[in-house]
């Protein structure tokens, strides 16, 4: 299958060619034709499988075939949960529309709104946005969504996780009822299907599962270690292994900052990326990590989700996530584009039950190793740690364990996450 046979215009094919893509990815192959037919589409495929082009290319084609209005009202709205994702999608939209008469813009919070407003006033065909800033600008009447023809919900699973459902509902009230809806997600959960039912009309569902599941391609290891010795162990691994590009996950922002400082003291260039960092700091950290000037990027789950960092050889879970699905997302950052990677998890006694949940989810036992001098503490309690980062906020004084269990029904936890994550 080639891009030519998907029915895309010459202008788009030229842009695709410039990007250097040889052929469509499986999800692109499946999603592009029904979108071009004007159908609502619900698509799910793992992170890194090219979902952005899967909706952007046909969307641009449809817009360029329609009539371009002089005022340039927003005709396509792409919603995404975080600033980084918004910026990345916008980059893609710009690249793919290079040879078309299409204007695009991106808006997100955390930065001055004035340049965004000025740009909207000049007219924009495709708008990429995070929900908070979008609603802000709509409320201020600087932006109208009454001409939206195509509505895209990207990273829909993350939107749910981050408690954006209400905002999405508010936004839908601002766009015309008659429109084409596209929903893209890395996972295909019951919650996603429920959300889709409320938004999409007779959708075509497309799914692409990779030949090798993440879990098979990626080499996984668990190191049992005393909590107090984790920092020493991770520094030893990175230094002795001479690893040059390592993505490290912590459970909390505070933990990310702390570990980053210790890495730097140990002579390893490192930067933290999380929701409390300014947009400038996050962009700079990501750029440094991509160009190799920063060896270690320490991230929280929310900050890292969906970031396009190709070919990561090493992912280390300094703390394993209390939400098992997050483990799969984290280790999905290695072994992208067919390259193999290694995912290491440092597990202390208090994380034992999290590990059990993860192994249940991935359906395999991860091989365990112990390094001399960094042994687990035989006297440490296996009671789960307090949930950090606001991800788990059990109401009504539930104990930690019940907080963790409540992730499945996710209502409680979503409200807990909301206050923090909406700042993205
Ligand atoms: P997802 O949204 O599924 O996580 P992205 O859209 O961010 O994935 O794409 C991941 C990477 O794959 C990007 O670097 C993108 O440029 C690249 N990519 C997308 N489509 C193709 C293709 N057809 N061939 C090669 N690379 C592609
Ligand atoms: Mg994506």
Work out which ligand 1 atom sits closest to the CA atom of 27.
Answer: 3
The protein residue whose alpha carbon is closest to atom 10 in ligand 1 is 48
The protein residue whose alpha carbon is closest to atom 13 in ligand 1 is 50
Report d(CA 49, CA 289) in Å as an integer. Answer: 21
Question: Domain 3-207 adopts which CATH fold?
Answer: Rossmann fold (3.40.50)
Q: What is the mean pLDDT of each run of 10 residues along the chain (424 residues)?
A: 90 95 92 96 88 97 88 95 92 97 95 95 96 96 96 92 91 96 88 89 84 59 96 96 92 94 96 84 87 93 71 89 87 65 93 92 86 91 66 36 36 34 34
- Tell me the residues surrounding ligand 2 (ion) with CB < 5 Å: 51
Q: What is the pLDDT of residue 344?
A: 95
CA 300, 306, 309, 312 torsion-angle sign: positive
Q: Which residue has the tokens 């842009």?
A: 15
Candidate from 5, 15, 50, 335 with most ligand 1 atoms within 8 A of CB, to mutate: 50
Structure tokens that stand for 101 in this block? 């008469």
Q: What is the pLDDT of residue 281?
A: 84
Ligand closest in space to the Cα of 45: 1
Ligand closest in space to the Cα of 32: 1
Report d(CA 59, CA 55) in Å as an integer. Answer: 6
The protein residue whose alpha carbon is closest to atom 22 in ligand 1 is 21
Return the CATH number of the domain spanning residue range 218-369.
3.40.50.300
The protein residue whose alpha carbon is closest to atom 20 in ligand 1 is 50
Candidate from 52, 81, 155 with most ligand 1 atoms within 8 A of CB, to mutate: 52
Ligand closest in space to the Cα of 332: 1
Rg, the chain, Cα only: 22
Question: Which residues lie closer than 8 Å to 406 by C-beta, 6 or more apart?
Answer: 392, 394, 398, 412, 413
SS3 28: helix
Residue extents of the structural domains in the chain: 3-207, 218-369
* Tally of CB atoms within 10 A around 380: 14
CA–centroid distance, 50 to ligand 2, in Å, is: 7
SS3 84: helix
CA–centroid distance, 243 to ligand 2, in Å, is: 27
Q: What is the pLDDT of residue 157?
A: 87
Ligand closest in space to the Cα of 86: 2
SS3 203: coil
The protein residue whose alpha carbon is closest to atom 9 in ligand 1 is 50
CA–centroid distance, 312 to ligand 1, in Å, is: 15
Ligand 1 environment, Cβ below 6 A:
21, 24-25, 28, 45, 47-53, 306, 308, 310
CA 134 to chain centre: 19
Work out which ligand 1 atom sits closest to the CA atom of 88.
Answer: 7
Ligand closest in space to the Cα of 155: 2
DSSP annotation string for 241-258: TT-SSEEEE-SSHHHHHH
Q: What is the pLDDT of residue 161?
A: 82
Candidate from 53, 59, 156 with most ligand 1 atoms within 8 A of CB, to mutate: 53
Q: Which helix (H) or strand (E) holds 42?
A: strand 41-45
CA 134, 106, 252, 406 torsion-angle sign: positive
CA–centroid distance, 95 to ligand 2, in Å, is: 16
Q: What is the pLDDT of residue 403?
A: 35
User: Among 304, 176, 297, which Cα is nearest to 248's?
Assistant: 297
Work out which ligand 1 atom sits closest to the CA atom of 47.
Answer: 4
Report d(CA 156, CA 185) in Å as an integer. Answer: 5
3-207 shares its CATH topology with 218-369: yes
Give tens-digit pLDDT for 248-298.
Answer: 999 999 999 999 999 999 999 999 988 788 878 888 888 899 889 999 999
| Backbone φ and ψ of 114, nearest 5° | -60, -50
The protein residue whose alpha carbon is closest to atom 17 in ligand 1 is 50
CA–centroid distance, 316 to ligand 1, in Å, is: 23
The protein residue whose alpha carbon is closest to atom 25 in ligand 1 is 21
Q: Which helix (H) or strand (E) holds 299?
A: strand 296-299
CA–centroid distance, 175 to ligand 2, in Å, is: 23
**Verdict on whether the full-model pTM lies above 0.85:** no
User: Among 133, 155, 342, 138, which Cα is nearest to 237's?
Assistant: 342
């Amino acid at each position: 299958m080639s891009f030519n046979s998907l029915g895309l215009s010459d202008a788009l094919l030229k842009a695709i060619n410039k990007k250097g893509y040889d052929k469509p990815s499986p999800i692109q192959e499946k999603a592009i034709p029904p979108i071009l037919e004007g159908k609502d589409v619900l698509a799910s495929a793992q992170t890194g499988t090219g979902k952005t082009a899967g909706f952007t290319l046909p969307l641009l084609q449809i817009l360029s075939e329609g009539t371009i209005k002089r005022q340039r009202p927003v005709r396509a709205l792409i919603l995404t949960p975080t600033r980084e994702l918004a910026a990345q999608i916008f980059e893609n939209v710009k690249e793919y529309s290079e040879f078309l008469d299409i204007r695009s813009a991106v808006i997100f919070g955390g930065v001055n709104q004035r340049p965004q407003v000025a740009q909207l006033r000049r007219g924009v065909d495709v708008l990429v946005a995070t929900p908070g800033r979008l609603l802000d600008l709509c409320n201020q009447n600087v932006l109208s969504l009454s001409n939206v023809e195509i509505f895209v919900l990207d990273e829909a699973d993350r939107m749910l996780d981050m408690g954006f459902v209400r905002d999405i509902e508010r936004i839908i009230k601002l766009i015309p009822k008659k429109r084409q809806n596209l929903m893209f997600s890395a996972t295909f959960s019951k919650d996603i299907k429920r959300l889709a039912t409320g938004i999409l009309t007779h959708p075509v569902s497309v799914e692409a599962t990779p030949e090798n599941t993440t879990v098979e391609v990626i080499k996984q290891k668990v190191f049992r270690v005393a909590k107090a010795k984790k920092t020493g162990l991770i520094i030893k691994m990175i230094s002795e292994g001479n690893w040059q590009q390592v993505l490290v996950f912590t459970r909390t922002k505070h933990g990310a900052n702390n570990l980053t400082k210790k890495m730097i003291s140990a002579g390893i260039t490192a930067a933290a990326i999380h929701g409390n960092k300014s947009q400038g700091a996050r962009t700079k950290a990501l750029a440094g990590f991509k160009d190799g000037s920063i060896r270690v990027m320490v991230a929280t789950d929310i900050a890292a989700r969906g970031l396009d960092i190709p070919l990561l050889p090493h992912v280390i879970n300094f703390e394993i996530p209390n939400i098992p699905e997050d483990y799969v997302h984290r280790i999905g950052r290695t072994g992208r584009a067919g390259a193999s990677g290694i995912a290491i998890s440092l597990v202390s006694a208090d994380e034992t039950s999290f590990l059990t949940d993860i192994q249940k989810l991935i359906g395999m036992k991860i091989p365990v190793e112990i390094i001399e001098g960094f042994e687990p503490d035989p006297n440490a309690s296996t009671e789960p740690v307090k949930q950090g980062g606001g991800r788990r906020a059990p109401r009504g004084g539930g104990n930690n364990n019940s907080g963790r269990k409540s992730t499945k029904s996710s209502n409680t936890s979503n409200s807990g996450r909301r206050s923090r994550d909406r700042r993205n």
